[in-house]
Amino acid sequence: MSARLKLRGASRASTVLRVIHTFTPAHRARRSGGTLQPVSVKRGIFVAPFDELVDPRVLAELAQNAEARGWDGFFVWDHVAWSAPVRAVADPWVALAAVACATRTVRIGPLVTPLSRRRVQKLARETVTLDHLSGGRLTLGVGLGSVRNGELEPFGEVVDARERAVLLDRGLEQLSELWAGAFEPLPLQRPRIPVWVAARWPNRRPLARAARWDGLFPIELPGPDELAVLAEELRLLRDEAAAPAELIAELPPGGDAGAWERAGATWLLTAFGPQPRLAEVREAIEAGPG
């Protein structure tokens, strides 16, 4: 290959990366039957890296297959422990590094990281490094965490929910400052790595937090009607000048996406619970996002 062709290829690659690194919503299409079909909601795989899925190489293979089948994202739970009968738990950040290296287009990230048990400076280094490793495909999911599964109090972490909320807000502001230039390198994505905020239904307090960031990930929703309520409340809370926030919902393998999309979901994640079966995840991925 001539030097001129190499330079031309590098220029095109740079242009593609600049497009990927901007997370402003855009028109999308999915290839089906040889033609491009418009898609208004993105579809992702959402797995706990536990037990049968504890090996990062298995997760990387699943993510690679999901990308090939047209899925838009591959996300993992972020926990250091879980209650029985779960036994084995993988580190999500090492797993996501493997996923980043095995894929090229799917959006990846932890859902969700409790900032109250993280050192913000370490998380800043991890997120920016993973953003570079993935070519600007990282989304950071954040939340309060939970006392249910023995991963806070046994390790000396903060248990009080209000105190964890304060630490979450403080951590997000510090993280934003570190991403903005206090640390180098900067993230590839602009204006920064997108942040999705978790909220457990029917708690409304996290909505105000989500309105300040880039997306809302409501947990334990009874159904699409409740999602529609949250979508309207989030719209009213959000700055009118800001881009619309992402609204993320979970559904089981083979679940009907239509009602969730009509309720306002912009991301639908096929989820498998705390004991994912490898065969079931593979089958859902192979079936495609629909």
- Domains identified in the chain and CATH numbers: 43-285 (3.20.20.30)
Residue type, 261: E
pLDDT digit string, tens, across residues 221-268 = 999 999 999 999 999 999 887 888 999 999 999 999 999 999 999 999
How far apart are alpha carbons 164 and 115 in whole angstroms? Answer: 8
Nearest partner of 199 among 188, 190, 213, 210, judged by Cα: 210
Write down the pLDDT at residue 27.
Answer: 35
Q: Are 193 and 138 in contact (CB under 8 A)?
A: yes
Kindly state the average pLDDT of the residues 202-228. Answer: 94
Q: How deeply is 242 buried, as exposed, middle or buried, from its count of CB atoms within 10 A (0-12, 13-18, 19+)?
A: exposed
pLDDT of 198 higher than 70: yes
Q: Are 82 and 149 in contact (CB under 8 A)?
A: yes
Please indicate whether residue 161 or residue 17 has the higher confidence score (pLDDT). Answer: 161
Least confident piece of the model among 13-17, 129-133, 185-189: 13-17
Write down the pLDDT at residue 13.
Answer: 39
pLDDT of 17 higher than 60: no
pLDDT digit string, tens, across residues 94-111 = 999 999 999 999 999 999
pLDDT of 11 higher than 80: no
Write down the pLDDT at residue 89.
Answer: 98
How far apart are alpha carbons 289 and 165 in whole angstroms? Answer: 35
Write down the pLDDT at residue 8.
Answer: 39
Write down the pLDDT at residue 31.
Answer: 40
How far apart are alpha carbons 126 and 195 in whole angstroms? Answer: 14
Contacts with 203 (C-beta within 8 Å, 6 or more apart), sequence order: none
| pTM of the predicted model as reported, rounded to 2 decimal places | 0.87
Please indicate whether residue 151 or residue 33 has the higher confidence score (pLDDT). Answer: 151
Look at the block and give the residue holding tokens 């979970």: 250
Kindly state the average pLDDT of the residues 202-208. Answer: 90
Kindly state the average pLDDT of the residues 19-36. Answer: 39
User: How would residue 115 be classed by pLDDT, with cut points 50, 70 and 90?
Assistant: very high
Kindly state the average pLDDT of the residues 122-139. Answer: 98
Write down the pLDDT at residue 243.
Answer: 84
**What token pair was written down for 102?**
């095995």
Number of CB atoms found within 10 A of residue 12's CB: 10
- pLDDT cut 70: percent of the chain above it: 87
- Cis (ω within 30 of 0) for the bond into 49? no
Edge-to-edge strands, sheet with 107-110: 107-110, 73-76, 42-47, 267-271, 246-251, 215-219, 195-200, 140-143, 113-114
Q: How deeply is 148 buried, as exposed, middle or buried, from its count of CB atoms within 10 A (0-12, 13-18, 19+)?
A: exposed
Write down the pLDDT at residue 102.
Answer: 98
Residue type, 7: L
**For residue 245, what is the DSSP state?**
P
Cα–Cα separations (whole angstroms), residue 170 to 5, 79, 188, 189: 49, 21, 23, 22
User: How would residue 289 be classed by pLDDT, with cut points 50, 70 and 90?
Assistant: very high
pLDDT of 73 higher than 70: yes
